[in-house]
Chains A and B, each alone.
Chain A
Amino acid sequence: MNHPAESAFLIESEPYYEAVGDEVALFEAAYHSRIPVLLKGPTGCGKTRFMEYMAWRLKRPLITVSCHDDLSAADLVGRYLITASETVWMDGPLARAVRCGGICYLDEVVEARKDTTVVIHPLADDRRILPMEKRGEVLRAPPEFVLALSYNPGYQSVLKELKPSTRQRFVAIEFDYPAAALEEKIVRAETGIGAEDAGKLVHLAGLTRNLKHNGLDEGASTRLLVHAGKLIARGIAPRIACQGAIAQALTDEPEMLAALNELISAVF
């Protein structure tokens, strides 16, 4: 099977990223010390964008795996595929990242099946190896390889917790929504809307975040603000844009939806 060329995973141009704290320095230090990294934070606050930015900065290929509840160890390591006349081994994304010394980013890792930790653990301590049981092979990670996980502690479900034995192998970097002024700057840079609309979007986001734990699992993320901003930039009326991009994205519950729409029409 043809692997996509490693160069396809290289990020060519600088992704837009605004540092909130010292996360860039922290990541670089961990990278050079060969310690894996755990990114914690709510959805849409910029974890994935940060990874893209770091991959670009460190000039390493970035291989992202969005974890889902059916993702197993084989999906990460690799499996045999069958062609017309033979069985062929196909590296999984994790093995590929180890071979090419890239950054393997497992997004929302708690969603994956528990057996994935079996392959993560030996890679995440000082052994830095990936045993490939089916091939009887052990891959040694080159110094450039780094493993990064992301994880949203906000769901508060016992089922979706990282085990201590996993989380204690990582340097954790905490992400949160940026402070208002910075968030406004990000929304403007990503969407091209004016300062007034961007300010109102950020203001609205603050109001929805107050509803967290009062019927909403999460308030509006920076990503949703960017979506709404893009619609506004295309000439959609702000109230309509926010209803579609923010309220409907946050909930299906009619009463909450009505309340969100009231907040939107209060601000815009």
Chain B
Amino acid sequence: MSSSAPFSEAALEAAQLGPLLEEFLPASTWHDASGEKLLAQLALLTRAQQEFVLHWGPVLARNSATMAYGMARQANAAFACMATDDIERWLARAMDAYDKAGLSAAFAVLNHPARFAEERRSAATRLHLDEALGVLELFACGLAGRQFQIAEGDCAHSDSATFFLPASLEHYPRKEDNFLLYKGMVAHLWAQVRFGTFAGAWFERLEAYPDPERALAWLNVLEAERLEIRLRKIFGGLMRDLDTLDGGARPALPGGFAEQLAAPGAGVAVSLALLDAALAHEPPPLRPYVGELRPALVRLAMQTRIPQEKAALVKALGKWLDEIQPRREDAPQPEIRAGIAAEAEERAALDIVVTLDGKPVAPPEKVRELLGSIALDLGEIPPEYLVPAGPGASAPEAGKTQKNQDAASAADAYTYPEWDYERRNYRKQWCMLRERALAPKGDDFVRRTLARYHGKIYQLKRAFEMLRGEERTLKRQQNGDDVDFDALVEAYADLRCGRELSEHVFSRRLKVERNMALMLMVDMSGSTKGWINDVERESLVLLCEALEQLGDRYAIYGFSGMTRLNCEVYPIKEFAEPYGDTVRRRIEAVTPRDYTRMGAAIRHLSWRLNQVDARVRLLITLSDGKPDDFHDQYRGTYGIEDTRMALLEAKRAGIHPYCITIDKEGPQYLPHMYGAVNYALIDDVKRLPLKIADIYRKLTT
């Protein structure tokens, strides 16, 4: 709590509370008696509790005044059943819900403080999917066959690519056991895909039954039994663990069913064949880890996936054949065959055997993955899928990147959280950031800059050359490439005097390597328009020229964007890219765009930087002012605090952030925003190009 008021102070009267609440509650509060009632209620709280309400009220009101009202109305109930830290969690949950799904979702949380309190109390038993998600995802990835996703759903079910699991489990009194139940659900949903529950297109057939729902329920029971038999074979340990939880009692099936389902090679067809006979009985209850079958979802997923994968396979096969040997247009197509190895039943992985013109071959990973996924959907790999694209199909398609850009879908976006200093919490998955290619431009800017700074560049190069890793000779080493004669003479002198012969008589050459990676992020916001932009571009040219001398790895990204859903970074030079014409033309294409939402850009580029293997990682930001965004609370303290937090995160991840800014008003907020890291304020903008290279030199020696 921000309030430093002594808690022993007397509680505020209703009349005193009124004006304080008016500041953030909606005006409609006071139209009827509800305002009076609220004041009377709040007057009953202690002073400390009232301060709490007065602190959080404005924070909530920034999202919605109605939410603040909702909180104030429930305050007494919340204090009656929770401690302050739990109340803060309750409010954080409400704000998260608001971010994700709007006001009604927030009120679903706010209106039930008692329910939240109960949930906190049961936290020891209840396991939330969030807590288990990381491990479960890796577990599913290990089972593999396809890149499965895990998402929240109303019960355990799958669409054959995503496993939906309940948001939390409280089935057993112990958390570990609930985790085990999650694991069982994942294994079961995976087995549905692996052992062909969805193969064989039975979806329409089921609808022909007089009571399709009952038929589906029975099919689920039969499939659960069939899959459990399979799972017992390959994941004996897991099934044993699950048995200890619920005693291992399996649903009672009519006589003879279990034997047929257990037969080697039995597929979904066996379950379907048994369905008619089964419908005469009531479906027995399922084991807790078995979820539901949702054929409609599966059909939808398959309808998009199958053609996509077929097309991808055709392309991947063509590319692979091109790699093996160049093909001619008129040559006969090589014959490719693929099938599932017979013994695959006993294993988690589908064993796919591929032959090329009759000879067994090992296709590349991409082809193997696609074949695996197709075999899971269809239960086989039909020969018509194995037609490779014609020769040369693997050549990069022109304009493809452009197409991807136009489709501004969520698929190519990275999501990042954002720090809300008022909530003292992150807003989860708040910003969407995309990497956009800059269309190279050729306006001669780089050549002019090089000509203009000709002399300076020469000096810079000299200065940087001196930084280059030098060879040093280490003397008096225990072992090395050569004899250190000085040490040797001394050692012999010692020996003659009757002392021990020193072992340190070698010299060794040591190359001091500069193992460094630099990420430079450049402000491309609208405010850089004009000469700041020119100076920025000149700086980039000079820095690149200098860095090329040094051989340090470096990348340059521009950043801009508008609103949290459209943050953008523009690769100007990636780490692996050489500094050549393309990069120069991209520097020329650095133009002012929209706003400066710095936090997301810092988070994204820190992540990029951390993928580079280097001993020292340096993130330099170059901006012209405060973080800012369009029509948004990002302007002001919020943006400064988020940027500060993003820099702190980078620092925690082992990156050295350094900020260069050319804002004249800088001194007011800079020490706070960059206080945790280092920064430089450049008042004479014309000197920026030289200054930036100078800063880099100082930072890295």
| B is bound to A | yes
Interface positions of A (Cβ within 8 A of B):
72-74, 79-80, 82, 84, 87, 113, 134, 157-159, 180-181, 199-200, 203, 206-208, 210-211, 214-215, 239, 255-256, 258-260, 262-268
Q: Which residue of B lies closest to A255 (CB)?
A: B134
Chain B hits for A264, CB < 8 A: 237
- In the docked arrangement, what's the CA distance between A197 and B136, Å? 25
Chain B hits for A203, CB < 8 A: 234, 347-348
B609 to A: closest C-beta gap in Å: 15
Q: Which of B141, B349, B576, B613 contacts A211 (CB 8 A)?
A: B141
B284 to A: closest C-beta gap in Å: 26
12 interchain pairs (CB within 8 A)? A113-B511, A134-B482, A199-B346, A203-B347, A206-B349, A207-B142, A210-B143, A255-B134, A258-B135, A266-B187, A267-B238, A268-B236
Q: Which of B138, B183, B347, B482 contacts A206 (CB 8 A)?
A: B347
Chain B hits for A266, CB < 8 A: 139, 183, 187, 235, 237-238
Contact assessment for A215 and B142 in the assembled complex, using a CB-CB cutoff below 8 Å: no
Q: Which residue of A lies closest to B141 (CB)?
A: A214
Chain A hits for B235, CB < 8 A: 266-267
Given contacts A134-B482, A266-B237, list 14 more A-B pairs with CB under 8 A.
Answer: A72-B481, A79-B480, A79-B506, A84-B495, A157-B613, A203-B348, A207-B143, A239-B237, A256-B138, A258-B138, A259-B139, A259-B142, A262-B135, A265-B241
User: With contacts A80-B483, A255-B134, A265-B241 known, is A210 near B141, CB below 8 A?
Assistant: yes
Which residues 264-303 of B have a CB within 8 angstroms of A? none
Chain A hits for B501, CB < 8 A: 82, 84
Chain A hits for B262, CB < 8 A: none
Q: Does B491 contact A (CB under 8 A)?
A: yes
Q: Which of B135, B234, B236, B495 contacts A255 (CB 8 A)?
A: B135
Contact flags (1/0) for B579-622 with A, using CB distance below 8 Å? Answer: 00000000000000000000000000000000001000000000
Contact flags (1/0) for B473-489 with A, using CB distance below 8 Å? Answer: 00000011111000010
Q: Which residue of A lies closest to B138 (CB)?
A: A259
B474 to A: closest C-beta gap in Å: 12
Contact assessment for B135 and A211 in the assembled complex, using a CB-CB cutoff below 8 Å: no
Contact assessment for A265 and B237 in the assembled complex, using a CB-CB cutoff below 8 Å: yes
Q: Does B351 contact A (CB under 8 A)?
A: yes
Q: Does B505 contact A (CB under 8 A)?
A: yes
Interface positions of B (Cβ within 8 A of A):
134-135, 138-139, 141-144, 183, 187, 234-238, 241, 343, 346-349, 351, 479-483, 488, 491, 495, 501, 505-506, 509, 511, 576, 613
- In the docked arrangement, what's the CA distance between A84 and B236, Å? 67
Chain B hits for A267, CB < 8 A: 234-238
Q: Which residue of A lies closest to B239 (CB)?
A: A266
- In the docked arrangement, what's the CA distance between A168 and B479, Å? 33
Contact assessment for A206 and B348 in the assembled complex, using a CB-CB cutoff below 8 Å: yes
- In the docked arrangement, what's the CA distance between A172 and B197, Å? 44
Chain A hits for B238, CB < 8 A: 265-267
Chain A hits for B234, CB < 8 A: 203, 267
Chain B hits for A159, CB < 8 A: 613
A160 to B: closest C-beta gap in Å: 9
User: With contacts A255-B138, A266-B187 known, is A210 near B237, CB below 8 A?
Assistant: no
Chain B hits for A181, CB < 8 A: 343
Chain B hits for A206, CB < 8 A: 347-349
User: With contacts A207-B348, A267-B236 known, is A262 near B144, CB below 8 A?
Assistant: no
Q: Which residue of B lies closest to A268 (CB)?
A: B237
User: With contacts A206-B348, A268-B236 known, is A214 near B138, CB below 8 A?
Assistant: yes
B291 to A: closest C-beta gap in Å: 18
Q: Which residue of A lies closest to B483 (CB)?
A: A80
Chain B hits for A210, CB < 8 A: 141-144, 349
A117 to B: closest C-beta gap in Å: 14
A208 to B: closest C-beta gap in Å: 6
Q: Which residue of B lies closest to A180 (CB)?
A: B347
Closest 7 CB pairs of A and B: A259-B138, A210-B144, A266-B238, A74-B481, A207-B142, A266-B235, A268-B237
Chain A hits for B576, CB < 8 A: 158
Q: Which residue of B lies closest to A155 (CB)?
A: B613
- In the docked arrangement, what's the CA distance between A267 and B343, Å? 18
B513 to A: closest C-beta gap in Å: 10
Q: Which residue of A lies closest to B134 (CB)?
A: A255
- In the docked arrangement, what's the CA distance between A256 and B141, Å? 11
Chain B hits for A72, CB < 8 A: 481, 509
Contact assessment for A211 and B138 in the assembled complex, using a CB-CB cutoff below 8 Å: yes
Chain B hits for A239, CB < 8 A: 237
B170 to A: closest C-beta gap in Å: 20
Q: Which residue of B lies closest to A77 (CB)?
A: B481
A158 to B: closest C-beta gap in Å: 7
- In the docked arrangement, what's the CA distance between A72 and B343, Å? 50
B461 to A: closest C-beta gap in Å: 24
Q: Which residue of A lies closest to B509 (CB)?
A: A72
- In the docked arrangement, what's the CA distance between A265 and B135, Å? 13
Chain B hits for A215, CB < 8 A: 138
Chain A hits for B613, CB < 8 A: 157, 159
Chain A hits for B506, CB < 8 A: 79
